[in-house]
């Protein structure tokens, strides 16, 4: 189920909810009342980012406090297998595009990494600021696209730390692919033939504009990631993300449908 056209809002941790009412946080209240100019009596769809969708009606409105009456609620199940994006931290505009497209396609988790050829290094304060901005972008993309699931956003980390966490938490039913420009590698669609029924998560990694380094590609290979080509030309990182995620999403949806039908 997805969101229909009309007014939309997000139920953040700063919002409050009772059995039959929602009080939106100041940011969402401002956007609904001042930007969208919703009025008392207007119907608003509120998503919680975890598959919950509330059909509501505006009962009280103020610049920083909009109250909604809950008319109905539906709970939706996250699609399976889950799709995880491992992305080198990019320049702001490119990163925004990656975040928006990831939401639209349905990525479950986004894992930003700092790489050898990347142009960014973040201290703890910068990381928190980036995460806050990125989360806002993800929420807006959810409301715009109708995706009921807000991707989990990991704290930016080194590729070494990513591999440590990956090794500790991955399951036998997960698989990984890394975008590559090397001609000897199979195309992603060909590599996906190795994806078997029962896969619970697929990781897709895309490097910075300068690409992953040879040692980083070796590290991916040592952790079971399959290097895969995406097209006949060299793509920008944000283009590679869209290209690869679209191919993966279609393949996984077909795989899931075949499992459900018993084929």
Q: Residue 263 pLDDT > 60, yes or no?
A: no
What is the reported pLDDT for 171? 78
Q: Decide if 108 contacts 50 (C-beta within 8 A).
A: no
pLDDT in tens, 57-83: 999 999 899 999 999 999 999 888 899
Q: Is residue 26 part of a domain?
A: yes
Sorting pLDDT into bands at 50, 70 and 90, what band is 124? low
173 and 256 in a single domain? The answer is yes
Q: What is the total count of domains within the chain?
A: 2
Token readout for 155 is 């704290």
Q: Is residue 120 part of a domain?
A: yes
35 and 97 in a single domain? The answer is no
Neighbours of 234 (CB within 10 A): 11
Q: Decide if 192 contacts 176 (C-beta within 8 A).
A: no
Helices (H), 84-123: 92-105
224 and 241 in a single domain? The answer is yes
Q: Which domain holds residue 122?
A: 82-261
pLDDT in tens, 210-234: 999 999 999 999 999 999 999 888 8
94 and 124 in a single domain? The answer is yes
Q: Decide if 79 contacts 42 (C-beta within 8 A).
A: no
Q: Decide if 5 contacts 44 (C-beta within 8 A).
A: no
List the one residue out of 116, 91, 83 whose CA is nearest residue 217. Answer: 116
What is the reported pLDDT for 2? 53
Q: Is residue 1 part of a domain?
A: no
Q: Is residue 167 part of a domain?
A: yes
101 and 35 in a single domain? The answer is no
């Amino acid at each position: 189920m997805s969101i229909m056209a009309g007014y939309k809002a997000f139920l953040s941790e700063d919002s409050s909810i009772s059995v039959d009412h929602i009080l939106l946080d100041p940011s969402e209240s401002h956007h609904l009342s001042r930007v969208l100019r919703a009025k008392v009596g207007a119907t608003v769809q509120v998503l919680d980012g975890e598959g919950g969708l509330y059909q509501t009606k505006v009962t009280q409105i103020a610049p920083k406090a909009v109250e909604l009456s809950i008319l109905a609620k539906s709970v939706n199940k996250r699609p399976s297998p889950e799709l995880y994006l491992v992305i080198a931290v990019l320049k702001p505009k490119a990163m925004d595009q990656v975040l928006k497209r990831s939401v639209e396609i349905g990525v479950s988790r986004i894992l930003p990494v700092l790489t050898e050829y990347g142009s960014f290094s973040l201290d703890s304060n910068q990381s928190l600021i980036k995460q806050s901005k990125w989360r806002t972008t993800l929420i807006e993309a959810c409301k715009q696209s109708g995706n009921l699931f807000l991707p989990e956003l990991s704290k930016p980390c080194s590729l070494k730390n990513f591999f440590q966490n990956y090794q500790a938490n991955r399951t036998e039913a997960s698989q990984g692919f890394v975008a590559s420009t090397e001609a000897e590698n199979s195309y992603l669609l060909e590599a996906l033939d190795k994806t078997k029924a029962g896969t619970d998560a697929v990781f897709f990694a895309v490097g910075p504009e300068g690409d992953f380094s040879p040692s980083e590609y070796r590290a991916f290979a040592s952790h079971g990631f399959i290097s895969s080509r995406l097209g006949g030309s060299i793509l920008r990182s944000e283009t590679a993300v869209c290209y690869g995620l679209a191919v993966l999403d279609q393949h996984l949806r077909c795989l899931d449908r075949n499992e459900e039908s018993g084929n």
